[in-house]
Structure 1
Amino acid sequence: MMAEGIGFGTIVGRFRAEEVRQDGQPAACPGWLLTTQGEEVAALVTGLYGGRPRSCNQKPGTFEVVLEKDAIAVTVDGPSSVINHLVLGERHDPIHVCNGSAFLAPMDSVGHPCGCPESAFARKAAARSGRGPKPDARLTFRLAAAPDAGLFGLSSSSWTFYESLSAAVDAMERANAKARMEIRLQRKVVTTRSGMTVSYVHPTFSVVERESAAPGDLQLAA
């Protein structure tokens, strides 16, 4: 079995809440979309959460499964398993990377104020206009139901996921802990002014339990 890499470690599969259509635009998936280069990984995850395999003509050797369960329990090793930045420009060649208050890149700007608005509303408005950075949120985890299956990855540009990851990282840093968490698809249906109904699906992330550094000391999350 070949493992995949998505920028923050070698993993055996990826979970996605959205995909890129042939016209280059993002589209919501009907359920969690698992992509993997391991047939046995696809079979294992499908057995745990149900799913509908589908062809992946653009990536020979890649297996795709649309899972049937929206909420999946996972284990995260700690803050080092998370990348949660705001980025302006392409991920492989960004011109601005920050944490909302200070620059993380480029190197000559690290630690200096990034100039992003304090309010979430203003940040989102700047990102929509192309003047401000948008989320680059990435997570590695193990499946709580099959921890020996290997590491999985999830990445998203969703503000909902970025904000939920920020809260989870704060909890992990305070506890100096691994954490049992849950990834979940959050669905929202809105009607536009023209009367069109639009469905949105965003990934979100919440702490279920956090495991203290001391072995066997398990605490319920606040």
Structure 2
Amino acid sequence: MAMDKSIFDDPERAEREEKFKRPTYMYQFRTGMQNAKRKPVSLAKFRVLAAGEPTAKGIAELMGGNPALKFPEKEHDYEILTDSASVEIVLNGSDAIEDKFMQWGPNGLPIHECDGRLSLMPDDRGEPCGCTGTLKERKAKSRSGKGPGPNVIVSFRLAGLGYELGMGRWIATAWQFAETVHGVKDDLDDVDGEALCRLEIVQEEFTDENGELIKYKKPVLTVLGSYQDAIAEDR
């Protein structure tokens, strides 16, 4: 990874953080869930949590799956296990991606939140966050529970007929995605107005040093171009 494009090295990050205002989210995309033993499982196709039956049905029409009322006590009460590993979405510039690092306490509340250099916590916002070390060292601290991990919030609309369903979000916690996010932001800055993007779950595999075949899934976000140009071409 080229460190000059690292998520840890963005002198304008704090200013963009101040400007970023989160919308009301009508749905949330997930790339994983818990199994019957409450263990995390990576999915090959998107799982969506939606606020209300109309939104859930609209998403199912676009991406397949059957809406189910799973969490009646929560805002996003419907769950759709979609048939889609890839979906076209619309992002309104690079500010639609809020990239930061978070560490959670045993009570489920954040004990550390930063942009890689400066704290975003209310008590010491703007002060040095204390995160040090190479990217490899930070990964190791995060995975051992001794440091924060990526928490990248992508705010978007579904393209085409899904645009009217309102704003949705996807929270990425994978280091692989966090390492590429600045490249995605650069591509978004090159687009005039809203950008048409593709969000997908990609299957990858490699052979490790012991000769064992390792398979895994990773999320990929690709900027395709101007959304308005795409609409004009369709017409």
The answer to whether TM tops 0.5 is yes
Of 113, 120, 137 in structure 1, the residue corresponding to residue 152 of structure 2 is 137
Q: 1:163 and 1:29, CA in 2 relative to 1: closer, same or farther beyond 3 A?
A: same
SS in 1 for 2:124: helix
Q: What corresponds to 1:62 in structure 2?
A: 77
TM-score, normalising length: structure 2: 0.71
Moved over 6 A (4+): 190-198
Q: 1:117 and 1:175, CA in 2 relative to 1: closer, same or farther beyond 3 A?
A: farther
User: Quick check: 2:200–2:219 contact (8 Å CA) kept in 1?
Assistant: yes
**Count of residue pairs the alignment pairs up:** 208
Q: 1:12 and 1:184 mapped to 2: Cα distance?
A: 20
Of 168, 183, 196 in structure 1, the residue corresponding to residue 199 of structure 2 is 183
Deviations 1:175-206 (A, max 9, x none): 57432211111224578999998754332212
Q: 1:63 and 1:109 mapped to 2: Cα distance?
A: 36
Report how far residue 38 of structure 1 moved: 2.3
Q: Considering only aligned residues, what root-mean-square deviation do their CA atoms show, in Å? A: 3.6
Deviations 1:94-144 (A, max 9, x none): 33322233333354362526333233x332212111222101111110111
Corresponding letter in the other structure for 2:167: L
Q: 2:37 and 2:209 mapped to 1: Cα distance?
A: 25
**% same residue:** 22
Report how far residue 76 of structure 1 moved: 0.7
Q: 2:155 and 2:81 mapped to 1: Cα distance?
A: 19
More strand by share: 1
TM-score, normalising length: structure 1: 0.74
Q: What corresponds to 2:25 in structure 1?
A: 11
Q: 1:173 and 1:103, CA in 2 relative to 1: closer, same or farther beyond 3 A?
A: farther
Q: 1:148 and 1:57 mapped to 2: Cα distance?
A: 24
1:79 maps onto 2:97 in alignment: no
Corresponding letter in the other structure for 1:40: P
Of 113, 117, 126 in structure 1, the residue corresponding to residue 133 of structure 2 is 117
Q: 1:1-222 to 2 correspondence within 5 Å?
A: 8-21=22-35, 23-54=37-68, 56=70, 62-90=77-105, 93-105=109-121, 107-108=123-124, 110-112=126-128, 114-119=130-135, 121-146=136-161, 147-173=163-189, 177-188=193-204, 200-210=216-226
Q: 1:46 and 1:206, CA in 2 relative to 1: closer, same or farther beyond 3 A?
A: same
Q: 2:226 and 2:132 mapped to 1: Cα distance?
A: 31
Corresponding letter in the other structure for 1:34: V
Unpaired runs of 5+ residues, structure 1, are 1-6
User: Quick check: 1:164–1:204 contact (8 Å CA) kept in 2?
Assistant: no
Deviations 1:29-54 (A, max 9, x none): 34101111322222222222222445
Deviations 1:124-169 (A, max 9, x none): 2121112221011111101112212211111131123323333222
Unpaired runs of 5+ residues, structure 2, are 1-20
